[in-house]
Amino acid sequence: MALRILLSIFACVVTTAIARPALATSQADVTVVVDTSTSMKDPGYDPERTSLLVTKLLTDVVPGRLAVVRLLSLGVADPSLFPAKPTGRTIPCEDDPTQGCMQVEATTDWGELARLSPQKYGLLERPRRADGGFKAQLDAHLDQNASNSMFDIAFRASQGAFEQQSEPIPQTLIWLSDGRTKNEPGLKQSIRDLQADGVAIEAVLFGRGDPRLAEEAGLPTQVTSNPAELMKAFAGVFRRIMRAPFEQDGVVANRPDFEMKPNVDEAWVVIYGDITLSNAWLEGSTGKVQTDFAHDSLQRAGAYRVAHMTSPSAGQYTVHVQGGGPGAAFAVVQLADLMPVLLEPKEAVSGSEISLVGGIRSGTTGKLLTHPSIVDELTLSAKVDGQTVELTQVGSGTGKRSAPHTFSQMGPVPVEVCVKSDLVDRCAEEIVQVSGHFKYSGGPLHLDLGTLNEDSESCRPLVFEAEHQGNLRFVLKELRSTPTGHHLEVRVPNGVLEPGGQPVSVAPQEGWQVCLVTAKRTPSSSSNDELRLAIHLADSDVPHHHLDVHLTWQVDGLSWLERWLWLILTILSLAIAAFVIYGFIWPRRFPSGLALAIAADLEDLEEQQPQPITQWRGIGIGWYRNARAYLTSSYRLSKNKAGAVARLQMDRATGLQVFPEAGSELLYETLDGDWKPVALEGRRGRAGHIFRVGSLDEGILFRISLSRLTPGPPGSVGRDSSTG
């Protein structure tokens, strides 16, 4: 496991140093975040402290800037690092629940403090490559004593270190851990912020580590478990970060040979084994190469030795070791310093076909490579205007490749040239200044669009003489608003210019058409040589980039009544419908529970069970008529007036009213037991009131009843307490 971690991380940082072709391979900006929690001492994680040996290897070989960040044991080993409020409570430690940790509460944003503070919390910066004093400091700096795994703070400290670098150097963060933390949201946000800043992040997990969090964050993740997987992990990191697909690695006992490709500028060979690895060397066609570039060892983690070659000879090499155990292995990193370059053009005219000419320069000498043995194995392409075109060879031995292209826009246009082969997969961006020319010196343009009707269009060619070179973007401005249902536009082969719309590219000699489009039910209108439109170059207010257009037209549309008759009829229909419907809403209905007891004398009336008024069919409201019911001489209620002796009717103001009918004398009983006549204007009826028509012995008596007797406002039915 230690072997796999060691070489995978080495590949990550060496390749990052050349990830951007515009930079020298001697530059890099790497931060290593190491899990120094106490859980790393457990079997299956990193009890051998391989992470320490890995970090020392990085110190020896990574050019440029390198920093190492450890975890902080907040509240225990480092109680004064961050502003915090002690709670006075002791809780189980995150990484070792058998131990107690002092609980504190943050009084500020610790992550932002770690990013912005000059104290560099937990961060140790290397002064120079292979610095012995720095390597000695790492023993204590990476001691596995942290009681928690607050990687979000470590990542923020790394972010602060990256932000201090002003040079455009490739930046990489290497995360050595078991993949676990309690503050997952905070760590994921830190990862997103670093990636937004262009920092490449590689996650390498120890043994039983959990890759879930790293994978959810979208990080390239390697889980190291045995030496056999070491070279595979190394190759994966190499491909992703260096973008150089060719690789070779192996176990010395199984396959000690590897091939060095032609035209390699630099090569590193890392040989790793157990603590018995005392020496190692390479043998090739030019003799022996010693592994004296760097070396170190750690009792339980193992040992490494590094050979470095500049412009090595191509061919087969054999790895030899003294000691190192049966698992001794090697990894080869071959760097071909080849830079794609756009040779032509530096300037171009929009809309005119030109040739994109590219080549490949040596990053070491700056010379254009021409030898077929180098150039013929490479693929060269260009990405421009959203397209990717492959450049083909121009003659033999020139080293140049080309492809036709027509720029469709003006200004500084980026062209990305990419080279790809077994050794390199690299891109470089060049800027081409694309220009054009337009000058109009004439006066206003006049167009007659003729006569048109509703739901139609009229187009006329716009003819003018102007100096026009290149594909140029134009916009259309409406100088006077058009009537409703009218739309003006200018049509060109590449699109349509609309008032206030997006710019449209127009090539020289292309036709222009001014169009008026009318909608259905559009009103009549006219324009008599009025200034309506202005056509001008996008992002330009120069007068000779501007055309004024006067328009004449006659639209025979609909009259006011024709346009709005449908709306008038709709409103009228809705009003009639509402009037009809309201005729059944407005009337006052009989109260629910209203009932009558009807009898021929008082004795029968007292024994009579009141019958709900709703049991008689047809009794109720009419259209804009309050509810009413007629009492007939047959002791029944009817909806018809014929033969009626009394009428019950609802009134919106006074509620239930009782009226005499057909000249009948209608009387009501007072509280004193007397009978008084009911006037023709009627009398309010309440629950308990008794009325009669005729004599007590041979007349018709009825009593009003209501299932719920509650006094209420006018319009309700309640118990009468008056004496009449």
Helix axes 151-163, 184-196, angle to 10 degrees: 20
Closest of 649, 625, 472 to residue 544, by C-alpha: 472
pLDDT on residue 74? 65
Q: Find the length of the chain.
A: 724
575 inside domain: no
281 inside domain: no
Query: Where is the domain boundary, 222, 245, 268?
Result: 245
Mean pLDDT check: name the lowest of 366-375, 452-461, 480-489, 665-674.
366-375
Give the integer Cα–Cα distance in Å for 603 and 599: 9
722 inside domain: no
pLDDT on residue 538? 86
Question: 641 and 523 share a domain?
Answer: no
pLDDT digits (tens, 9 = 90+) for 508-518: 888 999 999 99
Closest of 68, 96, 66 to residue 165, by C-alpha: 66
pLDDT digits (tens, 9 = 90+) for 50-77: 889 888 988 888 888 899 999 987 654 4
Residue, of 705 and 114, whose pLDDT is higher = 705
pLDDT digits (tens, 9 = 90+) for 79-98: 456 777 777 787 777 766 77
Instruction: Render the burial of 311-323: b for 16+ CB within 10 Å, e for the rest.
Output: ebeeeebebebee
Does residue 715 have a pLDDT over 50? no
Question: 407 and 447 share a domain?
Answer: no
Does residue 17 have a pLDDT over 70? no
Q: Is 304 helix (H, G, I), strand (E, B) or coil?
A: strand
505: CATH: 2.60.40
309 inside domain: no
Question: 552 and 611 share a domain?
Answer: no
- Determine the number of helices (DSSP H) and then strands (DSSP E) in the chain: 11, 49
Does residue 373 have a pLDDT over 60? yes
| Nearest-5° Cα angle at 164, 163 to 166 | 90
Give the integer Cα–Cα distance in Å for 721 and 724: 9
Cβ atoms of 648 and 656 within 8 Å: the answer is: yes
pLDDT on residue 716? 36
Question: 479 and 384 share a domain?
Answer: no
User: Could you tell me the pLDDT band of residue 569, with boundaries at 50, 70 and 90?
Assistant: very high
Read off the amino acid at residue 226.
N
194: CATH: 3.40.50.410
Q: What is the pTM of this model?
A: 0.57
User: Could you tell me the pLDDT band of residue 219, with boundaries at 50, 70 and 90?
Assistant: very high
Give the integer Cα–Cα distance in Å for 279 and 292: 9
Residue, of 683 and 148, whose pLDDT is higher = 683
pLDDT digits (tens, 9 = 90+) for 229-255: 544 565 455 456 556 567 778 899 999
Burial class, 355, CB count within 10 angstroms (exposed 0-12 / middle 13-18 / buried 19+): middle
517 inside domain: yes
Give the integer Cα–Cα distance in Å for 87 and 105: 7
391: CATH: 2.60.40.10
pLDDT on residue 394? 83
Query: Where is the domain boundary, 435, 450, 470?
Result: 435
Which tokens belong to 358?
Answer: 């590219």
The residues pairing with 368 across neighbouring beta strands, listed in sequence order, are 361
Sorted by sequence, the CB contacts under 8 Å of residue 413 that are 6+ apart come out as 348, 384, 385, 407, 431, 432, 433, 434
Give the integer Cα–Cα distance in Å for 301 and 1: 9
User: Could you tell me the pLDDT band of residue 565, with boundaries at 50, 70 and 90?
Assistant: confident
pLDDT on residue 5? 44
- What is the helix (H) or strand (E) element at residue 50, kind and residue range? helix 50-61
User: Could you tell me the pLDDT band of residue 284, with boundaries at 50, 70 and 90?
Assistant: very high
Give the integer Cα–Cα distance in Å for 267 and 459: 69
| Nearest-5° Cα angle at 649, 648 to 652 | 150
Structural domain including 663 reads 594-706
Mean pLDDT check: name the lowest of 221-235, 427-441, 572-586, 673-687.
221-235
Any idea which residue has 């909806």 for tokens?
639
Sorted by sequence, the CB contacts under 8 Å of residue 269 that are 6+ apart come out as 282, 289, 291, 306, 307, 308, 309, 317, 319, 330, 331, 332, 333
The H-assigned helical ranges of 327-407 are 372-375
Sorted by sequence, the CB contacts under 8 Å of residue 479 that are 6+ apart come out as 531, 532, 533, 534, 548
Instruction: Render the burial of 701-721: b for 16+ CB within 10 Å, e for the rest.
Output: bbbbbbeeeeeeeeeebbebe
pLDDT on residue 95? 64
In the chain the first and final C-alpha atoms are separated, in Å, by: 110
Residue, of 507 and 21, whose pLDDT is higher = 507
pLDDT digits (tens, 9 = 90+) for 134-189: 999 999 999 998 877 789 999 999 999 999 887 777 888 999 888 888 889 999 99
Cβ atoms of 535 and 549 within 8 Å: the answer is: yes
531 inside domain: yes
Give the integer Cα–Cα distance in Å for 304 and 331: 11
Cβ atoms of 260 and 267 within 8 Å: the answer is: yes
Residue, of 363 and 651, whose pLDDT is higher = 651
pLDDT on residue 27? 61
117-to-82, 113, 183, 197, 539 alpha-carbon distances in Å: 11, 5, 21, 19, 44
pLDDT digits (tens, 9 = 90+) for 454-474: 899 999 999 999 988 888 889
Question: 429 and 443 share a domain?
Answer: no
Q: For a pLDDT cut of 90, what percent of the chain falls above it?
A: 44
Neighbours of 673 (CB within 10 A): 6
pLDDT on residue 664? 87
Question: 430 and 497 share a domain?
Answer: no
| Phi/psi at 432 (5° precision) | -110, 125
pLDDT digits (tens, 9 = 90+) for 591-646: 988 999 999 888 888 888 899 998 888 888 999 999 999 999 888 999 998 889 99
Give the integer Cα–Cα distance in Å for 291 and 298: 18
Does residue 22 have a pLDDT over 70? no
Question: 446 and 356 share a domain?
Answer: no
pLDDT on residue 248? 79
Question: 549 and 626 share a domain?
Answer: no
pLDDT on residue 243? 62
pLDDT on residue 232? 54
pLDDT on residue 629? 94
Does residue 566 have a pLDDT over 60? yes
Neighbours of 554 (CB within 10 A): 15
Arithmetic mean of pLDDT, 704-719: 50
Q: Is 190 helix (H, G, I), strand (E, B) or coil?
A: helix
Give the integer Cα–Cα distance in Å for 158 and 187: 12
Question: 106 and 235 share a domain?
Answer: yes
Question: 610 and 504 share a domain?
Answer: no
260 inside domain: no
pLDDT on residue 54? 84
188 inside domain: yes
Closest of 176, 184, 179 to residue 209, by C-alpha: 179
Cβ atoms of 507 and 407 within 8 Å: the answer is: no
Query: Where is the domain boundary, 435, 457, 489?
Result: 435
Residue, of 437 and 630, whose pLDDT is higher = 630
pLDDT digits (tens, 9 = 90+) for 379-399: 899 999 888 999 988 877 788
pLDDT digits (tens, 9 = 90+) for 290-330: 999 999 999 888 899 999 998 899 899 999 999 999 989 99
DSSP state of 323: S
Total structural domains in the chain? 4
**Mean pLDDT, the chain, integer:** 84
Long-range contacts (CB closer than 8 Å, 24 or more residues apart) made by 534-539: 534/476, 534/477, 534/479, 535/474, 535/475, 535/476, 535/477, 535/490, 535/497, 536/474, 536/475, 536/477, 537/438, 537/472, 537/473, 537/474, 537/475, 538/473, 538/474, 538/475, 538/503
Closest of 434, 432, 436 to residue 472, by C-alpha: 436
Cβ atoms of 120 and 153 within 8 Å: the answer is: no
Give the integer Cα–Cα distance in Å for 532 and 488: 9
Arithmetic mean of pLDDT, 332-344: 86
pLDDT on residue 242? 57
* Strand ranges of the sheet holding 257-260, from the earlier edge strand across to the other edge: 257-260, 315-322, 279-284, 287-290
Cβ atoms of 344 and 351 within 8 Å: the answer is: no
Considering only CA atoms, give the Rg of the chain.
Answer: 48
Question: 485 and 419 share a domain?
Answer: no
Question: 160 and 118 share a domain?
Answer: yes
Q: For a pLDDT cut of 70, what percent of the chain falls above it?
A: 89
| Residue 12 φ/ψ region, left for φ over 0, alpha for ψ in the -120 to 50 degree band, beta for the rest | alpha
